[in-house]
Amino acid sequence: DVQLQASGGGMVQPGGSLRLSCTVSGGTFDNYAIAWFRQAPGKEREGVSVISISDGSVYYGDSVRGRFTISSDNAKNTVALQMNSLKPEDTAVYYCAADKTGWGTFKYWEYDYWGQGTLVTVSS
């Protein structure tokens, strides 16, 4: 049974930083692609960043490129999302998800396992 546990959300002022973490238990972590999605009230789910664990390739959404960094710690089965220069429009519930094919896209319907979500609020 594969489970994802997301953590690290909270409230921060504009320009601040937060670090999200996603810990994966069960399954074969090295074969996965792990992505972060977010969903703000009244908006569609948006792909934020994805990392292919097998080769380390990473991708970012246009709205976060240059501000967010995704990384993995394969020994701990954990993926982190470092978020810098946060903006009010980054406010959303952030979810981590695992694609067992390892391809890693922003097509949320292709992901097999999901974490519970963690709320990020950027406000002064």
Task: Report pLDDT digits (tens) over 78-105.
Answer: 999 999 999 999 999 999 999 998 888 9
- Cross-strand partners of 118: 94
Tokens of 89: 């429009």
Pairing of strands 118-122, 10-12: parallel
Q: What value does the mean pLDDT take over residues 39-53? A: 96
- Residue 98 amino acid letter: A
Q: How far apart are CA 29 and CA 12, in angstroms?
A: 31
Is the distance from CB of 92 to CB of 120 less than 8 angstroms?
Answer: yes
- Phi, psi (rounded to 5 degrees) for 90: -85, -5
Quick one: pLDDT at residue 123?
97
Task: Report pLDDT digits (tens) over 99-119.
Answer: 998 888 999 999 999 999 999
